[in-house]
């Protein structure tokens, strides 16, 4: 049996498909329940009950929403570019799924444990802007186009600071492999020595996923619903799922870069009994809770404030921090050597 799976082409392809399913199925269920979690948490913060009709504690609400979404009619605007209009939501959704190939859920436990894992994540998340830009253009609507343009500028701006924060982390790790990044945090999680960068990365992640308070691309008070104003039914659903999958992905990145990935908080007995993937899930859930908390708390940024924060605050701060990190590591001789962990 093992012979078949590891040494024949058909076996390898079957194995690959199974691995992919093992990541995608839990992810899709997680996305469905994240929508429920968001509504429940925000309801609790606003002293409401939230969805509580479908199933116990409203647990079937996610499926009710999905069925409603699928049963609706797909409307394509008259002047729209049909192919691109339908392509955009698929792109957004599939990119959000693709990135999960490299996220390690345990020691070496990833679909693809590649050497440039963090660059792969950066590349995939920088592609996310296309789904929004194409959707905005193909809809042939002023609101959608404005939303798309805002989003492009916003995501490109915040990618710069995300990149620099990642560089500071990589300086301390000495490897681009996500597994090595987690293992380098055995002694102390990076959120402790690099706390300011942790905050910068978190806020940039909010901007990168177009979440409140940076949800200007869909700012409903001025752009109706921004880039997906013309979308309905399943196409809208795919955007929706893509946004939530991106949130989970960004939370995963934060957990891996700053919160020690699958590592327990202390290497002691009661903590080490809990398996690694569960720790990662706890950390992702924590980040998602903060995402929702921020949404329930802060008003939306104005556009010029958003740009100022990205370029005039985060960019200089992360640049200075990067140089300071490099200097500190050089001075104390802690700079990791080529090809090794720590």
Partner 1 sequence: MLAQVVFYVFAAVLLLSGVMVISVRNPVHAVLFLILAFFNAAGLFLIAGAEFLAMLLVIVYVGAVAVLFLFVVMMLDIDFTQLREGLQRNAPIGACVGAILFAELVMAVSNWTMAPAGAGGSVQAAPGLTNTAALGTLIYTHYVLLFQACGLVLLVAMIGAIVLTLRQTGSGRRQNIEKQHARTREDTLELVQLPLGENVLEQGGFLRPGTSYYEIAVPGSYGAAEQPKEAEKEETGA
The CB-of-44 to partner 1 minimum distance in angstroms stands at 33
Near partner 1 by CB under 8 A: residue from 134, 144, 178, 194: 134
Position 10 contacts partner 1 (CB under 8 A): no
- Neighbouring CB atoms inside 10 A of 285's CB total 16
End-to-end CA distance of the chain: 39
Position 335 contacts partner 1 (CB under 8 A): no
Position 230 contacts partner 1 (CB under 8 A): no
For the CA atoms of the chain, what is the radius of gyration? Answer: 21
**Which segment (47-55, 151-159, 198-206, 226-234) binds partner 1 by CB under 8 A?**
151-159
Residue 247 near residue 288, CB atoms below 8 Å: yes
The first and second tokens of residue 230, run together, are: 């013309």
Q: Which among 282, 288, 204 has a CA at the least distance from the CA of 245? A: 288
The CB-of-126 to partner 1 minimum distance in angstroms stands at 3
Cα separation, 225 vs 252, in Å, equals 27
Residue 129 near residue 155, CB atoms below 8 Å: yes
Q: Which is nearer to partner 1, 37 or 133 (CB)?
A: 133
- Binding residues with partner 1: total (CB under 8 A): 29
Near partner 1 by CB under 8 A: residue from 30, 59, 98, 152: 152
Residues 81-110 that bind partner 1 (CB under 8 A): 84
Cα separation, 240 vs 196, in Å, equals 31
Position 14 contacts partner 1 (CB under 8 A): no
Residues 157-196 that bind partner 1 (CB under 8 A): 159, 176
**Which segment (45-53, 142-150, 214-222, 273-281) binds partner 1 by CB under 8 A?**
142-150
Q: Which is nearer to partner 1, 266 or 338 (CB)?
A: 338
The first and second tokens of residue 170, run together, are: 């990589």
| Burial of 336 per CB tally in 10 Å (0-12, 13-18, 19+) | middle
Position 323 contacts partner 1 (CB under 8 A): no
Position 45 contacts partner 1 (CB under 8 A): no
Residue 135 near residue 155, CB atoms below 8 Å: no
Position 294 contacts partner 1 (CB under 8 A): no
**Which segment (63-71, 111-119, 194-202, 260-268) binds partner 1 by CB under 8 A?**
111-119
Which chain residues interact with partner 1 by CB under 8 A? Answer: 9, 12, 84, 114-116, 119-120, 122-123, 126-127, 129-130, 133-134, 137, 145, 148-149, 152-153, 156, 159, 176, 304-305, 338-339
């Amino acid at each position: 049996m093992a012979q078949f799976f590891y040494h024949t082409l058909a076996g390898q392809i079957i194995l690959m498909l199974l691995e992919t399913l093992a990541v995608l199925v839990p992810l899709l269920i997680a996305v469905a329940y994240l929508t429920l979690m968001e509504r429940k948490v925000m309801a609790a913060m606003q002293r409401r009950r939230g969805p509580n009709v479908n199933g116990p504690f409203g647990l079937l609400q996610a499926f009710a929403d999905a069925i409603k979404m699928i049963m609706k009619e797909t409307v394509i605007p008259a002047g729209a570019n049909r192919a691109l209009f339908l392509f955009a939501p698929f792109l957004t959704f599939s990119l959000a799924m693709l990135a999960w190939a490299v996220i390690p859920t345990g020691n070496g436990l990833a679909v693809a444990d590649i050497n440039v894992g963090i660059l792969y994540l950066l590349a995939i998340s920088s592609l996310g802007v296309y789904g929004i830009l194409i959707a905005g253009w193909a809809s042939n609507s002023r609101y959608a186009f404005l939303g798309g343009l805002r989003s492009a500028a916003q995501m490109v701006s915040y990618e710069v600071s995300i990149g620099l924060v990642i560089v500071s982390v990589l300086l301390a790790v000495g490897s681009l492999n996500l597994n090595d990044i987690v293992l380098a945090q055995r002694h102390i999680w990076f959120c402790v020595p690099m706390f300011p960068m942790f905050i910068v990365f978190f806020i940039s992640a909010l901007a990168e996923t177009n979440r409140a308070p940076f949800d200007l691309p869909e700012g409903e008070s001025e752009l109706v619903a921004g880039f997906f104003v013309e979308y309905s039914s399943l196409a809208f659903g795919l955007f929706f799922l893509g946004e939530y999958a991106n949130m989970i992905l960004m939370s995963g990145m934060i957990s891996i870069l700053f919160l020690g990935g699958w590592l327990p908080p202390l290497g002691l007995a009661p903590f080490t009994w809990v398996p690694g993937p569960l720790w990662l899930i706890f950390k992702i859930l924590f980040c998602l809770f903060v995402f929702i908390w921020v949404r329930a708390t802060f008003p939306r940024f104005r556009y010029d404030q958003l740009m100022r924060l990205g370029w005039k605050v985060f960019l200089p701060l992360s640049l200075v921090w990067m140089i300071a990190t490099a200097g500190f590591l050089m001075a104390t001789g802690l700079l990791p050597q080529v090809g090794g962990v720590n």
